[in-house]
């Protein structure tokens, strides 16, 4: 090629480049308007932009600041999206067909409006029906980076705080009008503090009702410090999956807390749970259905909710709890500050559990109403067990005969816990030769005992001892004799503390004998 031809070629390329550049500049206002129209149609919103620069050639570039999306143009509610700064890029021809390669968003705040009320169980169907889909079917974004975004889901009750998710890292891929986007996010969990890694799918975006936009995925949550909840402690890890729509998410998974402890307890236990729950995005309330908790040698099943109650700031834990496999020493270990549980045996109980929010310790806020039974129990303390063995022999009228091994005992009763004090009613204690019926209170913090009831034995009072004592006690045999059966019925009271109990006659009368 000679110099003249080369010069002509270079000039032609320069003229072509200049022509495309001029054409690109001329088309930039069109591209700007087309870009805004597509975004408005995509999100069913009116878009306000403080500053927007669009270049179409040689490649599409858009940047700007203070972009605000007003859902359906409403100004009486918070904007759907607020974005401090944004950048978008794509190839020239891709831009003409509304195909954007990458979008970077800074300072994005999403506020999902309250929306309409829905009845029934058609969440998934409503989430992706044709009515809910936006237009702009050809508008596609390959990749969105939106680190530092905040998502607020407004509750139906205007007086309640929104459900807030802070996304330290967020990447979305494959964003189109009628397809779900894949996401990879790191969320900041406020309480207990920690980071949640989540991957899954989000969308397609429901332009008419954003809160009905579907999502699903898997999560991992590690190193969560439970001591930020007043009254408990431990480092929790959890994994699970979720699916639903923004306003109603079903979650299932497991948690593992190797060193869980309650503030009233003197030791930690390894607590594991498997759970299924539904999170109501309109209120932040969580419905548990069910939770299976395992610790030491016991398993507990709970169903209920973590929810706001009328006139109360913060959420209460309200559960129906049942021990399906339990040991009494495990229950004592997790609730009472003792180095070693004084009693061992199988336990069964059901209870209504309510833990309101507040500053006092868990043991002072916790409310329980239930029934329990302990079968074939023995005392781990040798001194207590020796006394029980002796009681059994005396109650059978055989004070001189040693017990043939440790005797077992059964307990049952109703319990009510308020303000750190357990009130026991219809408490029954049975061991060979003796039966005790008691009512009274036990302070979990003070360890104080205050019980009154009846001791029934198979023998006469005088037969519980030997020698001169037996002779003189014959005087009181008629006083304590059962009315309609053999044996004696003695009114008793128990006071003092767990560490130093006191026993005596209830001279004013004890609990009425069952006979």
pLDDT in tens, 256-297: 999 988 765 557 889 999 999 998 877 778 899 889 999 999
Task: Judge whether residue 119 has pLDDT over 60.
Answer: no
Q: Give 3-state DSSP helix, strand, coil % of the chain, rounded to 5.
A: 20, 50, 30
Task: Look at residue 124 and give its three-state secondary structure.
Answer: helix
DSSP state of 462: G
pLDDT at site 267: 76
Residue 96's pLDDT is: 65
Give the confidence band of 130 by pLDDT, cuts at 50, 70, 90. Answer: very low
Q: Rounded distance, CA 461 to CA 476, Å? A: 7
What is the pTM assigned to this prediction? Answer: 0.73
Domain extents in the chain: 3-257, 285-374, 381-515
Task: Decide if 59 contacts 88 (C-beta within 8 A).
Answer: no
**Which of 92-101, 270-279, 439-448, 459-468 reaches the highest mean pLDDT?**
270-279
Q: How far apart are CA 161 and CA 170, in angstroms?
A: 24
Contact (Cβ atoms closer than 8 angstroms) between residue 276 and residue 250: yes
d(CA 114, CA 498): 54
pLDDT at 475 over 50: yes
Q: What is the DSSP string of 228-283?
A: GSTTEE-EEEEEEEEEEETTEEEEEEEEEEEEEEETT-SS-EEEEEEEEEEEETTT
Contact criterion met (CB below 8 Å) for 436 and 411: no
pLDDT for residue 491 is more than 60: yes
The span from the CA of 112 to the CA of 209, in Å, is 9
| Tens of pLDDT, residues 352-374 | 999 888 777 777 888 999 999 98
pLDDT for the residue numbered 509: 53
Alpha-carbon distance of 230 to 216, in angstroms, equals 32
User: In the prediction, which pLDDT does 90 show?
Assistant: 86
Return the ∠ at Cα 374 (arms to 337 and 398), rounded to 5°: 105
pLDDT at 322: 94
- The answer to whether residue 462 scores a pLDDT higher than 90 is no
Cα–Cα distance, 461 to 471 (Å, whole number): 10
Contact (CB, 8 A) for 433 and 457: yes
Instruction: List, for residues 84-112, the tens digit of each pLDDT value.
Output: 999 988 887 776 677 788 889 999 999 88
Q: How many CB atoms lie within 10 A of CB 388?
A: 23
């Amino acid at each position: 090629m000679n110099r003249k031809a080369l010069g002509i070629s270079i000039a032609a390329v320069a003229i072509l480049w200049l022509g495309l550049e001029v054409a690109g500049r001329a088309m930039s206002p069109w591209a700007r308007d087309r870009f805004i129209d597509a975004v408005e149609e995509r999100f069913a919103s009116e878009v306000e932009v403080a500053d927007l620069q669009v270049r179409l050639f040689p490649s599409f570039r858009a940047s700007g600041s203070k972009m605000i999306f007003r859902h359906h143009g409403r100004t009486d509610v918070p904007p759907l999206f607020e974005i401090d700064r944004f950048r978008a890029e794509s190839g020239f021809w891709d831009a003409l067909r509304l195909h954007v390669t990458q979008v970077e968003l800074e300072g994005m705040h999403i506020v999902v409006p309250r929306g309409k009320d829905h009845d029934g169980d058609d969440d998934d169907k409503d989430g992706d029906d044709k009515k809910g889909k936006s237009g702009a079917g050809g508008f596609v974004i390959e990749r969105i980076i939106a680190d530092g975004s905040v998502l607020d889901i407004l509750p139906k009750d205007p007086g309640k705080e929104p459900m807030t998710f802070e996304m330290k890292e967020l990447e979305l891929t494959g964003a189109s009008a009628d397809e779900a986007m894949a996401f990879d996010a790191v969320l900041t969990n406020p309480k207990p503090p920690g980071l949640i890694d989540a991957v899954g799918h989000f969308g397609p975006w429901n332009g008419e009702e954003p809160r009905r936009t579907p999502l699903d995925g898997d999560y991992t949550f590690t190193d969560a410090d439970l001591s930020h909840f007043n009254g408990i402690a431990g480092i929790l890890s959890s994994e699970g999956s979720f699916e639903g729509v923004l306003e109603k998410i079903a979650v299932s998974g497991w948690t593992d807390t190797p060193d869980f402890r309650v503030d009233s307890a003197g030791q930690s236990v390894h607590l594991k749970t498997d759970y299924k729950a539904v999170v109501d995005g309109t209120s932040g309330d969580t419905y548990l259905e069910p939770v299976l908790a395992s610790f030491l040698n016991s398993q507990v099943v709970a169903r209920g909710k973590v929810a706001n109650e009328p006139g109360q700031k913060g959420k209460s834990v309200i559960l129906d709890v049942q021990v399906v496999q339990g040991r009494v020493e495990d229950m004592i270990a997790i609730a009472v500050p003792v180095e070693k549980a004084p009693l061992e045996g199988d336990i069964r109980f059901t209870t209504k559990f309510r833990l309101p929010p507040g500053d006092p310790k868990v043991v002072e806020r916790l409310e329980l109403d239930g029934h329990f039974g302990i079968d074939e129990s023995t005392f781990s303390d040798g001194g207590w067990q020796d006394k029980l063995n002796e009681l059994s022999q005396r109650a059978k009228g055989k004070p001189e005969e040693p017990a043939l091994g440790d005797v077992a005992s059964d307990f049952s009763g109703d319990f009510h816990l308020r303000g750190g004090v357990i009130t026991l009613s219809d408490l029954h204690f049975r061991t060979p030769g003796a039966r005790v019926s008691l009512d009274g209170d036990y302070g979990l913090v003070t360890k104080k005992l205050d019980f009154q009831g009846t001791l029934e034995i198979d023998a006469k009072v005088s037969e519980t001892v030997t020698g001169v004592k037996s002779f003189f006690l014959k005087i009181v045999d008629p006083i304590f004799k059962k009315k309609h059966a053999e044996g004696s019925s003695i009114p008793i009271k128990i006071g003092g503390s767990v560490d130093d109990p006191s026993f005596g006659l209830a001279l004013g009368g004890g609990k009425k004998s069952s006979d």
